[in-house]
Structures are given as structure tokens and as C-alpha cells.
Structure 1
Amino acid sequence: MELVVRAVIVFFFLWAVTRLVGRSTVGELSTFQLVLFIVMGDLVQQGVTQQDYSVTSAVLAVGVFALLTLALSWTNARFPRTRGVTQGIPVVIVENGTPVAKRLRSERMSIDDLRADARQHGIRDLADVEIAILETNGRVSFFTRSGRPEPPPDDPSPIM
């Protein structure tokens, strides 16, 4: 039973950490951040199982994490208002070609990161962007003045 309690505590701690890190950071991890998350995973395993390497403990810990993940998904589907807390909400970061500095700061996203994302979508100048939205998964959606969203260059969908 102690393992289950530890797993629940660690699950919600990790959820809070990923929410605090910010979606722009989670969207594209650097090599250092990836290594950091791997090390954190090992530390979490040690905290949950307390060096108990038995198969039973591993299965129980993974099962608790899986059940909590399913419970959060079910809660989000059943009660849509919880999505803002558990997943976040999309944030408009460019309006009428002008970056919204306050929102960029609150999302810990630099103007250079925004411009790099725009270039990856084939947009040379932010003035051509009617609206840009930082999605809950950390990616940026750009809508140009033509009225059509700009697909990423590797997007296989045809442009109409």
C-alpha cells in the first residue's frame, strides 16, 4: 500500500513539474533537458519503489501511473472545464502581426523562438501573421492574412 501512495504522490508531483516547466519548453527539448528528464525518471523510480527491484513493485508502480493517467483522461473527457487545469489552454501570442510580449513572457517564450517557429512555417515576417497561437502541446499555429493556416514544411496535407 505504501508503494501506491508514493506512486500517487510522485505522479502528481511530476504533473506539476511539467506544467511549471512550460509548454514551449516541453514542445522541443534540448539534449541537456532530455538527459535531465531521463535522470529524473530514474530518481522517480527510486523514490517510488525505494530500491525494491521486484517485478511486482515495478508492475504495481507502472499500473498506478497508468490508472492515474486514464483517470485524468476520463476526467478531461467527462468534464471539459478541467482541461484548462490539467492540459492548459491555447494562448494567442501574435495578434495582427504584433507579438503579445506579456503573453510570451508568461509562457517563457522568447521573441527569437517565435521568429524561429515562424521561419519553420515559411513565414519571413511576423507582420504577415494575423494570429499565432501557442497550443497546449507546445507547438505554434500560425494563421496568415490569407486566411489559411500555414502548415509546417513537412506537413503532407495538400494546400488548397
Structure 2
Amino acid sequence: MVKEATAQAKLGVGVETLWKALVEDLRFIIPKLMPNTVENIELLHGNGGIGSVLLFHLGPDVKIMKTQKERIVELDETKHEFGLEVVEGIMLKRGFSSFKTTFNLSSMGEKETLVDIKVVYETERDGEDEVEMKEAATKPALSFLQLLEKFLLHSSS
């Protein structure tokens, strides 16, 4: 059964700066943000647009597996909407049978952006603790956005 979890984050970074980091520079920024979790990201297929496949080479903090594949499934610059779907990887070993995260960015001023996060997922078993699964679905995206905000604020100063 398809389920959905949502969350919001308000970041002290302008929408264009955040969009560039999230969409254009994602492969290069994530290993800097989380070097023990992601060593590097390789573009396996495509040019960074819809349908492109990214291969995350995972770091020493990740014991379960060494890689994760994600496909870009949404990319709308006018709406500032970006979506990634896990094709194979760690999230599919943690009780999820499908997992797609969409980020929608809205400008709240020159140096402030509201990010709406929507995670659409399926679980392997019915009867999973719904609250626990929703938290497990949104927590990685929220943690990532906090790290990204710190990185962008630090690199602009």
C-alpha cells in the first residue's frame, strides 16, 4: 500500500542558491557534507536531468551495503521541484519496498527558503508502525537539509 509522509524545513538560504546546490551540485556537495556516509556520487546514466541515475558510494559509517542507486524522477526549475527515487539501496533494506523523496522550494525572502518534503513509499509488511515509518521516511531528508544549510551558510561567509 502506497503511503505518504510530509515535512517542512525553513532554511536561511536563498531559493536560487539552494536550488543550485540541490540540483546542479548535489553529487559534489553530499560527500563534503557526510564523508563517512557517502564517499562519492557517480553519474551512471543521463546528464543530470529526469531519468538520470546516480550511484552513491557509501562510506565507512554504513555497514549494511556499499552503494545505493537513485534515479531523478522530478525536475521542474519553474516550480523548484526536485525528486529522487531509490532504485536499490539502504532504504530498501529498512522496511521500505519503494521510496521516493520530492523537495519543493518556495522563496520566503532574499535569504530564506521553505522546503516542503514529500516522501511516497511502500512498506514491505502491512501493520508496520505508521508513526515510526513516517519518521524514518522524512528524517534523512530533514537531516540532509540541515547539513546543506550549514554548508551553504559557511561557504558564503
* TM value normalised by structure 1: 0.24
Structure in which a larger fraction of residues adopt helix: 1
Q: TM-score, normalization: structure 2?
A: 0.24
